A and B are shown apart, each in its own frame.
Chain A
Amino acid sequence: MHTNALLLASLAFVASAPTSASSSEGDALAIRAEKLHVGDGTVIENGIVVFEAGVITEVGKGAPVPKGVVLIEHAGHLSAGLIALREHAGAVGESNDSTRAVMDEADLSYAYRPNHSEVQGLLAEGITTFVLAPRPGSLVGGLCAVAKTGSEVISRRAYLSICTGANGLTSNRFPTSLQGSQAELERRFSWPRGVFATAVKGELPVMLDGGSSRTEVQHAIAFARRHGLKGILVGSTRLGEMAAKIRAAGLGVALSSYSPSTGRRVVEGAVALAEMQVPFGFALGSPNNHPANLRLTAAACIRGGLKSGEALKALTSTAARLAGVGDKVGSIQVGLAADMVLWSGEPTDPGSRVMAVYVDGDEVFRAEDDENGDDK
């Protein structure tokens, strides 16, 4: 629809315009989009965002573009880069130590490989930030990192990853049973030391994988309440069914990826969570799930009744806040990182395509021209 949507209309005025290369650090750049999604639900028509040295310096309809700064005209939408909560890209074999059930101080940032092809694959889908979490299989898998896709780790203590349900069990080390797992976690959190003490004080959020069944999720919520834990629940398609309890516990949610096999649970769950005003974002779990699933899940939720603006918040600003990096990424706001996506249309419309992606002001992805593509 938006053939050649990215119009470099301002080329005529500037000597050296960025093409497929990035603006080097220190260079300022401005983009005017037909619709600029700030991230708090507001949309600015013909909004301009100006950024310099990787940080947004101006946002607004008539934001002043400093002299000599390239203004890119984008005939489409612009939003903050998407954020995947609970992601394993590039670290599948390195993010779960199978012989130890409790690795409380394990640091997921050491499993991060910014140049891994799986990580690069996230950029093509507009995912500029993700929470690198251990794969399920441990009771306490370690400290989740928040990484810029293909770039730096911006938080090394986003969450303490905990599995309270069957996902934490393995047949060849303690515990292999639910009651064993519960006894061990109770012990760790009832007489807390180290990161457990920090979590009990509410200073370190937890990423709680309760397991998939209703009973396991109930256990996880009760566990969080018992120990005063803050953070998010992950790993079940049934979380929306318990929105009221989750709200009462003051927890957030990372929704599982939608697939036909999950039926309508994820979709209905998102609507229920939004109604109960439970903050939620989306988990991805790539490479098992294609990076496109992040946005497609949001689109499925919109089809089920979630407001488009709520979905975009869940993909950007709410996710950033849940991951504790809301002051760095997730919105198009002055002072935040210039992480943004230029879309061919509405960001949450599955028919829209990613035209270009910026991380810290650098253009890190650009859609190829559609000379051989399906455009007429």
Chain B
Amino acid sequence: MIWTSFLHAACLTLCAPPLQDAVVVEQPQEPEAPKAQPAVAPVVPVVPAADLRLHAERVYTGTGEILKNALIEVRDGKISSVRPGRSAPEGVLQVKAVTAGMIDLSARLHSNFNSVEQSTEVQPHLDVAGSVDLHDKRFARLARTGVTTVLVNPLDRNVIGGRGVALKTHGPMEVEARRLNGRPILRGAIGSEPSAANHAAFGRPTDFYSRRPTTRMGVEWEWRKAFFDAVAAKRLPEKDFPGAEDLREALAGKRTVMIQAWTTQDIRTAVYLDEEMQREGFGDLDLVIDAGAEAWKEPGILVRNSTIVVLPPHTAGGRVGSDGAFLAWNTASLLVGEGLTVCLSAHGAGPGSATLGHQAGFAMRGGLSFDQALAAVTSAPASVLGLSERLGTVHEGMDADLALWNGRPFAATSRVTGVLIDGVIVVDPR
């Protein structure tokens, strides 16, 4: 480590041209073969110059550390070094504070009704990637607020809506090129939305899609039936159906099951479903509750099932979602206090609304510590996506996805002034 630091330093002082403008992305030089050197100098292979360097008064690494006066180097889209106690070199991009780019697990960037396959309530095999429009301005809008990674899920008008897709908010304009291959997510919903009114989610009210579930009970029955059928189909191949394998993988814990459940009643239903699967010996769901506003009412059932909770955005009156669930200010702090993993989300809040960064601030107002709030928008969601090795913290080797702040992150007087995604300056703070 010391040696590599020395190499960097040597390279930067001896070999690298001074970076007058950090925005200029330099072509990394090809490492040259070691040449014969004068006897006094050690044989030092030339290390390519950093693509970008930035200096921050405070770097909140996400691992509990605060590095003061740190110089961050970025190379090939990754953080190549983070070194505290440095003065800012001439011309280097300087900011007050740096955190990892934020991650929103409930970004609602699907193509609305075009993401709803109404012909079946249960469609675990369909991938929402097909209905993602990367030209959608909401991606850029989220990036500007410091959100660098999102999980896109289908609109929750199906019981089991299909596979979600994790994407950076900036990058190549093709979904497959931008897709983050972490832990697969199977998305579904419990509550009034999959059973919204006694007709299809859109279109004529009296067509043959009237068979969709019309009650919460019907929704729950579809969930249970789907898992039972998937297990049955393993023994009876003639009963196989599209998505059965996805459901079996979920039961085997090979993919996370993320269920939207706003109210305490729906959160119970989700947990009971998981517990029933365990009781029957079918498997154990890796359960994440999205939009779990009322998780604070019965944290015990979540604790006993080790359920992860994604919270929807706070509102002034506390009422959130179509079912008028009540989200208390201290929900996140209460759940974290119970030992639960909590992620925050802006749940598709539009322009002018509170951003994910604001949600962290609100959660702190409700009692969450800074480190806990930071984790809830960075490392905790990164871990849900199975991408902790790449995202959610600031240290060497991680993706260079950074939120640059003009003050203490999440404070009411601070905001995100700059954003890096994969080492590219998406929002320039200067």
- Report A's interface with B, CB cutoff 8 A: 166, 169, 171-183, 213-215, 218-219, 222
Contact of A172 with B204 in the complex, beta carbons under 8 Å: yes
9 more contacts with CB within 8 A, not counting A176-B203, A182-B130, A222-B174, are A172-B204, A172-B208, A176-B119, A177-B115, A177-B117, A177-B118, A179-B128, A180-B123, A183-B126
The segment from B100-108, B131-139, B416-424 that touches chain A is: B131-139
Q: How far is the CB of A16 from chain B (nearest CB, A)?
A: 62
Please give the distance in Å from A189's CB to the nearest CB on chain B. Answer: 15
B116 at interface, CB cutoff 8 A = yes
**B174 near A177 (CB under 8 angstroms)?**
no
Nearest-neighbor residue (CB-CB) of A180 within chain B: B117
**With A and B bound together, what is the CA distance between A181 and B130 in angstroms?**
9
* Inter-subunit contact B204/A180 (CB<8 Å): no
Q: With an 8 A cutoff between CB atoms, is B173 at the interface?
A: yes
- The interface residues of chain B lying within 8 Å CB-to-CB of A180 are 117, 119, 123, 126
Contacting pair B174 A179 (CB below 8 A): no
| Chain B residues near A (Cβ < 8 Å) | 111, 113-120, 123, 125-135, 154, 162, 173-174, 200, 202-204, 207-209, 242
Quick one: which of B119, B125, B162 contacts A173, CB cutoff 8 A?
A: B119
With a cutoff of 8 Å between Cβ atoms, the chain A residues found around residue B114 in the complex are 166, 169, 177-178
- Give CA–CA (A176, B114) in the complex, Å: 7
Chain A residues near B135 (CB-CB < 8 A): 213-215
| CA of A169 to CA of B209, assembled, Å | 15
Nearest opposing residue in chain A for B163, CB measure: A179
CB of B130 within 8 A of CB of A179, answer: yes
| CB pair B117 A215 closer than 8 Å | no
B162 to chain A, nearest CB (A): 6
Cα separation A96 to B173 with both chains bound (whole Å): 33
Our pick among A169, A172, A183, A219 for the contact of B207 (Cβ within 8 Å) is A172
**List of B residues within 8 angstroms of A166 by Cβ:** 111, 114
Residue on A nearest B209 in the bound complex, by CB: A172
Instruction: Tell me which of A171, A172, A173, A182 has the highest count of chain B C-beta atoms within 10 A of its own C-beta.
Output: A171
Name the contact of A178 in the complex, choosing from B115, B173, B203, B207 (C-beta under 8 A).
B115
Tell whether A218 pairs with B130 under 8 Å between CB atoms, given A166-B114, A171-B118, A172-B203.
no
By a CB distance below 8 angstroms, the chain B residues around A214 are 135
* A249 CB, nearest partner CB in chain B, Å: 14
Interfacial chain B residues near A172, Cβ < 8 Å = 200, 203-204, 207-209
A182 CA / B131 CA spacing, docked (Å): 9
> Is B111 touching A174 in the complex (CB atoms < 8 A)?
no
Contact A177 B125 (CB under 8 A): no
For residue B160, give the distance in angstroms from its CB to the closest CB of chain A.
13
Also in contact, A178 and B111, with CB within 8 A (given A171-B118, A172-B203): yes
Given A173-B119, A183-B125, A218-B174, A178–B204 Cβ distance below 8 Å? no
Cα of A179 to Cα of B118 in the assembled complex, Å: 11
